[in-house]
Structure 1
């Protein structure tokens, strides 16, 4: 029986067909556009809930806009002029900066110290690390109500404790500085634990061989903290300072709930800029135009202070000494 052998196939017919031009273009577009499509949802959401309200607020601020009557005539920068001529605006601005300084500076220092303690070898580390975050979980309204009772002028627990050491009762709701200290205590109570966890995460990222080298050099725990930990925490400190600045200048919940009226005191001794904004928009004037002007003035103040903080902290970070580099031969 004769056997038939198959004819050899030509290389042209056995090879896979070359990819089309459309597939090449599609592959290039996928490589170039995919990263932008992945991050597009964030920018779309930011444009809807962040950028559009900001632009719309600027539009409202240059119009005579009433809460009930709605949009009025275009008046340019008259709302800004009216706001800057009001003494109450400068009182609110002074109160805002006072509360911000009394809260942010001790808060950052306390957060770094607590994070250093939690970074040490403690028993039940998870319990203590979760415990510092509990005040942040508490609602701001509840914190305001509790602290307003603690700092009551007549029957508050703080005045009772001060009486045991011979200190006269402090008028926490009457004196401006005392009310600022009380409100700053609320802010520190809520946000110190949150910033502590941020610093703790940064401390755990520090290479442990640096501490081992410091121990071999005879450095104490305190010396290790100031010579190793703090210099390597400078980028994190920059981040916390900037975010604390933004949040501190927008404070509203704590001073609003400090008393039952929510007006910032009889003489507006603890009224902040955001409370003044709320009073203009929803108070007796019901002027959305002036309230929007206050919002934009506060936005510009936050931007300026944020840039100043960033430039100062960046100079401090750039002035830090670099880490010693090891050469190939193992000698420094």
Structure 2
């Protein structure tokens, strides 16, 4: 007598092969996991496309046309605006001034910010007061800073020249000498931005594990040795970030240089005119030529990209210099075996 299997057991393999239906709530949960990160960061990219990418592309469109402030759009001229700008001596002088002010401001600014952050990270009294006070210059309007420092570095009645005269030194022609004017403008930039970068370094220092300093103290390392052997290596990524952002901001300096004198023309001989001031002069000054102003803006953009890439390569190489594991020799490998 043969025993027949129940129908439900005979159909069980076919039921197992049928695709399982996923509920809509489960699909919605998967979509939420996959799409929600992109939705969270999408406002930044949308705002960047509206306020950053579109003006950049539109400026490139203007730069290849004969475009005047009053006359509007003209004929397509290709790269004629770029060649015309590169043939002008004022462009190269503005480029030189921009790099000079950038180097005089960014390099001391980063060094001073690291040192001040290390002092604020130490066990001092009234930490909150000093940490808030270091950010106060950043709150001051840049035009106000420019007006105040233009009086401090005045040629005839400036505070600095009065102090120099009191100790028997000759006064400095801050508004005539190129290097002196660059130094004065760089001092304004350092006054405003050193505190901002200090707080960035301070936040990074507070994230360094305390066990590293405890081990260094046990080994007999002093504060200076701890600073160079622990603090600086742990700040490599932060230093790279600050250097890149300082490069982008330093090459676009405008407010401090514009407010250094009453006319705002960059000096009688253009001795402190920056590229951004030159853009303003081309578009809204004597020439009223939007096409050439847009060409200078794009040249400045390319310079910032090039310098930013160089800074990134250098700082990234420095940041990974101490992370490589030393290679073991063949003799050491044989001993281990």
TM-score (norm 2): 0.88
- Distance in 2 between residues matched to 1:230 and 1:87, nearest whole Å: 42
Give the alignment partner of residue 76 of structure 1, picking from 47, 56, 78. Answer: 78
After superposing the two structures, state which structure 1 stretch, 65-74 or 22-31, moved more.
22-31
Number of the residue aligned with 2:122:
120
**Cα separation, partners in 2 of 1:316 and 1:68, compared to 1, 3 Å:** same
Is the alpha carbon distance of 1:22 and 1:200 closer, same or farther for their aligned partners in structure 2, counting shifts above 3 Å?
closer
Q: Distance in 2 between matches of 1:214 and 1:323?
A: 21
Deviation at 1:323, TM superposition (A): 9.9
How many residues get paired? 307
**Which residue of structure 1 aligns with residue 332 of structure 2?**
none
Unpaired runs of 5+ residues, structure 1, are: 1-17, 325-332
Q: Matched residue of 2:195: which SS?
A: helix
| Distance in structure 2 (CA, Å) of the matches to 1:200 and 1:34 | 32
Q: Which residue of 2 aligns with 1:194?
A: 196
| C-alpha distance in 2 between matches for 1:269 and 1:183 | 12
CA distance in 1, matches of 2:66, 2:267: 29
Q: How far, CA to CA, are the matches of 1:49 and 1:228 in structure 2?
A: 41
Which residue in 1 is equivalent to 2:319?
317
SS at 2:75 equivalent: strand
Structure 2 counterpart of 1:304: 306
Residue in structure 1 matched with residue 290 of structure 2 by the alignment: 288
Structure 1-normalised TM-score? 0.90
CA distance in structure 2 between the partners assigned to 1:35 and 1:201 by the alignment: 25
- CA–CA distance in 1 between the matches of 2:206 and 2:88? 49
- What secondary structure is seen at the aligned counterpart in 1 of 2:263? coil
What SS is found at the alignment partner of 2:221?
A: coil
Residue segments in structure 2 that go unaligned for 5+ positions in a row: 1-19, 327-337
Partner of 1:66: 68
- Cα deviation code 1:119-166 (max 9, x no counterpart): 111100000000000000000000000000000001100001111222
Please tell me the root mean square deviation across aligned C-alpha atoms, in Å.
1.6
Aligned position for 2:48: 46
In the alignment, structure 1 residue 251 sits paired with structure 2 residue 253: yes
The secondary structure found in structure 1 opposite 2:214 is helix
Q: Is the counterpart of residue 277 in structure 1 residue 304 in structure 2?
A: no
Q: CA-to-partner distance for each residue in 1:6-47, whole Å, 9 max, x for gaps?
A: xxxxxxxxxxxx976555544433332222222221111111
Measure, in 1, the Cα distance between the counterparts of 2:155 and 2:285. 27
- Which residue in the other structure is 2:185 paired with? 183
Which of 109, 112, 115 is equivalent to 2:111? 109
The verdict on how the C-alpha distance between 1:321 and 1:282 changes in structure 2, with shifts beyond 3 A counting, is: same
